[in-house]
Amino acid sequence: MEAKTIQKYSKLSTAKLKAKAVKIFNAWIRNRDKGNRCISCGSGIPEHAGHFYSAGHHNGLRFDSDNCHLQCVRCNYFLSGNLLNYRRGLIQKIGLERLTNLDMKAKMKGAVKDDRFLLIDIILKYSPILNGKSAN
């Protein structure tokens, strides 16, 4: 990462960098899955970038694109993710091999601390894609 890029984000706290990265990543998920139905129920109006493995309990999977897909408000909030049906939807969408890989990542113990460079990297990776440009 270039020093110029690091300098650009130097005045933002880690918490603000994380909020910006989450906003950009979730917008990217909504854009990626635009036109799809809710991964859990197949109906409803999918508006949320819902995580299969909770971002709060599995911080290391927060920005994993296999772990985050469009969900309707009902499934994401009121049915706590509707995880059994979410899993079925994941098998159809990403396949059993990638889902098994995601399961193995989730089983890795240890807290993942938010890293400024990782957060900046997420911002840089997903912002250009949202703006119609290819990622570096």
3-class DSSP assignment, residue 56: coil
Band (pLDDT 50/70/90 cuts) for residue 136 is: very low
Q: Would you state the pLDDT for residue 112?
A: 76
3-class DSSP assignment, residue 63: coil
- Whether the Cβ atoms of residue 34 and residue 42 lie closer than 8 Å to each other: no
pTM: 0.89
Q: What is the pLDDT of residues 80-110, one digit of tens each?
A: 999 999 999 999 999 999 999 999 999 997 6
| Burial tier of 25 (Cβ tally within 10 Å: 0-12, 13-18, 19+) | buried
Q: What is the pLDDT of residues 66-83, one digit of tens each?
A: 999 999 999 999 999 999
Give one DSSP letter per residue of 64-124, joined into a string: -TTSEEEEEHIIIIITTT-HHHHHHHHHHHHHHHHHHHHHHHHH--S-----HHHHHHHHH
